[in-house]
Amino acid sequence: MRRINGQPFLYTLDPGAHYVNVYRFDAARGETAIPSGLLAQNPLPGTWPSGQPSYGEWPWRDVNGNGVVDVGEISSNPSTGSTVGNGFWWVDAPGNVWLATPLSGFREMPLQGLDSAGNPIYTYASSQLFAMPQPFTRLARLVYIAEMDTMYLSGFTSAIPWDATHWKEAGPVLARYDNWSSGTLTQRTRSCCRGTQRAIRRRPR
pLDDT tens across 126-142, in order? 999 999 888 899 999 99
User: What pLDDT is stored for residue 203 in this prediction?
Assistant: 40
Both 139 and 165 in one domain: the answer is: yes
Across 4-13, 34-43, 70-79, 80-89, least confident range = 80-89
- Is the pLDDT confidence value at 148 over 90? yes
Stretch 60-82: mean pLDDT: 85
Q: Could you tell me the pLDDT band of residue 78, with boundaries at 50, 70 and 90?
A: low
Both 185 and 120 in one domain: the answer is: no
Among 68, 101, 125, the domain boundary falls at: 125
Among 92, 125, 158, the domain boundary falls at: 125
Both 58 and 151 in one domain: the answer is: no
Both 52 and 92 in one domain: the answer is: yes
User: What pLDDT is stored for residue 82 in this prediction?
Assistant: 57
Instruction: Give how far Cα 104 sits from Cα of 12, 99, 138, Å.
Output: 23, 10, 8
Give me the chain's average pLDDT, please: 87
Both 4 and 56 in one domain: the answer is: yes
Both 154 and 114 in one domain: the answer is: no
Both 66 and 98 in one domain: the answer is: yes
Determine the structural domain holding residue 179 and report its residue range. 132-205
Q: Are strands 136-145 and 128-130 parallel, antiparallel or unpaired?
A: unpaired
Total residue count of the chain as it appears in this document: 205
Stretch 15-36: mean pLDDT: 92
Stretch 88-116: mean pLDDT: 95
- Is the pLDDT confidence value at 169 over 90? no
Among 85, 104, 125, the domain boundary falls at: 125
Both 112 and 152 in one domain: the answer is: no
Distance CA 3, CA 188 (A): 30
Stretch 186-193: mean pLDDT: 68
The count of structural domains within the chain is 2
In which element (H, E) is residue 195 found?
helix 194-202
- Is the pLDDT confidence value at 170 over 80? yes
Both 14 and 112 in one domain: the answer is: yes
Are 73 and 49 a contacting pair, CB within 8 Å? Answer: no
The residue ranges of DSSP E strands in 88-149, in sequence order, are 88-91, 97-100, 106-109, 128-130, 136-145
Torsion angles phi and psi, residue 195, rounded to 5: -60, -40
3-state secondary structure of 151: strand
Spell out the residues 6+ positions from residue 115 whose beta carbon is closer than 8 angstroms to its own. Answer: 61, 63, 121
